Chain A
Amino acid sequence: MIDNYSQKLKERDGEFSLSESARQEIIELKNQYPSARSAILPALHIVQAQFGFIPAEPMEELAEILGILRGDVEQVVTFYRMYNQKPVGKFHVKVCDSISCYLRGSDELIEQGLHKLGTSLNETSADGKITLSKIECLAACASAPCLQVNDEYVYNVQPEDFDEILDTLKTAEKNPYFIP
């Protein structure tokens, strides 16, 4: 029964296994905490960094490393917004549309972006490069409107900036907004 389920998930997500370095990082994380289970959230960020989303197979590997059930991991994956449960574009552009950004034009930005990309919300552009989503307050309200490209911030985004950002991302290999 359970094997059948695992099989189905593998069929859904394909074959994915954690890289040796990701495994190592997760083990180090686990050793930091008084209780191994505490490492789930940061460990899942490591999984997502490798695959761009959280596929089924590494969830099992993670459960095994941390000595918990796969269900414990799944529960977490489905609760927290940052974990992508299915693949997204290479660059996930998340525009804040909470109050302070809304007041300074985030709705218009989102419309502009979708129009430019020719996609709808949460849909990935045909070249697989960009997915545009909305997100709740990013705690950069004084630099509104703001957005994130994957996990990196762009502040005070004016309409003309946004066109440029999307153009840049279309051809970018690495996240251009990464600051160490």
Chain B
Amino acid sequence: MAQQDQIFPPPPPLLTEKPPFEYQLLKHRAVPGFAKLDVYRANGGYKGLERTVTMQPDEVVNEMKASGLRGRGGAGFPAGMKWSFIPKVPGPKYVTCNTDESEPGTCKDHELIENNPHQLIEGVLITCYAIGSEYGFIYVRGEFARGIRVLKRAVEEARAAGLVGKNILGTNFNCEVIIHSGAGAYICGEESALLESLEGKRGYPRLRPPFPAVAGLYARPTVINNCETLSNVPHIMREGAAWYSSFGTEKTKGFRVYSLSGHVERPGTYELECGATFRTLINDLGGGAWKGRKIKAFIPGGSSTPMLAPTDEVLDTPMDFEGIAARGSMQGSAGVVVIDDQTCIVGAVLRLVEFYKDESCGKCTPCREGTQWLVQMLHRLEHGEGREGDLELISDVGGNIAGKSFCLLGDSAPVPYNSALKLFREEFEYHITHKTCMVGPRAGKQLAGVH
């Protein structure tokens, strides 16, 4: 197969002839060349847009509401409701697609844009139509250089076929789709920072209100949705809300692309119906812990969500917003990171928290200073230089970041530590009393003074 037709990042092996859930968002895995317009169209592509342009914009918003689609970027806000907040005022309105994907453990948007670009472009066009926008921006993290090339090619193909630009599908709907590249900053995934960045500034989050629906990009009404959220939209418009809402659970409809990474036999992105269990994802598809080991803990929805212990009760939890919340964590970005029993939890937590220190935008003091303190203290602990009382001190510092920061990045920074401490307190204490790891390759070795 030509390299261009291969799927990147490489998908996990298929264990059975058919995938565990009939591909919807990941249809490109079944049909070679899916990034090309003719192949996409031959498989139902742009049928959703064709139907959309025969409807009134309000009807499209209502269809979206009826589908029950909820945001895939993290918070799970109902997409149709978000669109309905756009005021009916004259003048420009905008749609921005959040493809900044940078939350550790999350890699679904990456596969979607590199292999199924038209699905997203169609979703953006439908969203623009529904809210009366003539501009759809796809904000892609700069590191996705190939994804950006693929998307740009797809836009040009769509333009040549009368699907982007003026008089789309022969109607009076005009819409430009602009592929915009970021330049490396996790904070730009936060929606108001994304807007600042798209305006050509540093990615500092904005004070809210006003919310983007009222004053977003260039201070105009703006819808911001995640890449996977908008990739669902063509399917809903093609097959109808009733079809879509027949998938999933009571409050979380549809299907979802889960990223499974860490210490499993078969890491990969897996498309499943919303509400499939962790057991199905981690054990049945992922093959459980690698190297015949046991799972010690896992992160259910990207690094900002509290880690969970793999009890039977937890493994049988349906992966939807409510199910995971009931276990004390969050669905987040659906990035599941598995940690095996040979891993020192202190080291893993240090690595998790370092991310927030590195990515703190520096706008507010609790997060800018606090994340540095957290890392310093965890570093000390990890390297056998922890002191009596450090655990309380770290909790204290964390408590001074969460709830006192300007945006959710700060609130998330102490999450890995807090959740790990609850589950593995004795391992943290062991680091202080024995100056070494309780488990893992360095267990029993003197660490003090080693860096």
Contacts and interface: CB of A to CB of B under 8 A. Distances in A.
Nearest to A36: B200
B389 interface: no
B180 to A, nearest CB: 7
Given A33-B178, A82-B184, A139-B143, A153 B9 contact: yes
A139 B102 contact: yes
Given A41-B180, A80-B182, A179-B8, A99 B202 contact: no
A138 B348 contact: no
Contacts of B10: 143, 155-156
Contact of A180 (B4, B107, B185, B337): B4
A72 B201 CA distance: 8
Contacts of A39: 200
B303 A99 contact: yes
Nearest to B134: A34
A32 interface: yes
A161 to B, nearest CB: 13
A99 B183 contact: no
A1 B343 CA distance: 57
B181 interface: yes
Contacts of B70: none
A45 interface: yes
Given A39-B200, A98-B351, A152-B146, A137 B259 contact: no
Contacts of A44: 183
B45 interface: no
B178 A142 contact: no
Contacts of B199: 35, 37-38
B352 interface: yes
Contacts, number: 166
A153 B8 contact: yes
A25 interface: no
A143 to B, nearest CB: 4
B146 A179 contact: yes
Contact of A81 (B109, B184, B263): B184
B180 A142 contact: no
B348 to A, nearest CB: 7
B339 A103 contact: yes
Contacts of B142: 41, 45, 80, 82, 151
Interface residues on B, range: 35 or more
B183 A144 contact: no
* Most central of A33, A37, A42, A139 by chain B CB within 10 Å: A139
Contacts of B104: 98-100, 136-137, 141
Q: Which of A33, A41, A155 has the most CB of B within 10 A?
A: A41
B260 A142 contact: yes
Nearest to B349: A99
Interface string B317-360: 00000000000000000010101100100001001100100110
A45 B176 CA distance: 22
Contacts of B229: none
B359 A144 contact: no
A140 B110 CA distance: 7
Contact of B143 (A76, A82, A143): A82
B225 interface: no
Interface string A124-164: 00000000000011111111101010011101100000000
B261 to A, nearest CB: 4
Contacts of B355: 98-99, 136-137
B107 A140 contact: yes
B33 to A, nearest CB: 14
Interface in B249-263: 259-263
A8 to B, nearest CB: 24
26 contacts: A35-B200, A39-B200, A45-B181, A45-B183, A75-B202, A76-B201, A79-B361, A80-B203, A98-B355, A99-B355, A102-B348, A102-B351, A103-B343, A104-B263, A136-B359, A137-B186, A137-B355, A139-B109, A139-B144, A143-B10, A146-B9, A152-B145, A152-B146, A153-B9, A155-B8, A180-B149
Interface of A: 32-35, 37-42, 44-45, 66, 68, 72, 75-76, 79-83, 97-100, 102-104, 136-144, 146, 148, 151-153, 155-156, 179-180
For the complex of A and B, the 4 pairs showing the least CB-CB separation, nearest first, are A81-B184, A80-B183, A151-B145, A37-B200
Interface of B: 3-4, 8-10, 12, 92, 101-107, 109-110, 135, 141-146, 149, 176, 178, 180-186, 197-203, 218, 259-263, 267-269, 299, 303, 335, 337, 339-340, 343, 348, 351-352, 355, 358-359, 361
Given A102-B351, A139-B110, 11 more contacts: A33-B178, A34-B218, A41-B181, A44-B183, A80-B185, A99-B337, A100-B337, A137-B103, A141-B261, A142-B260, A152-B145
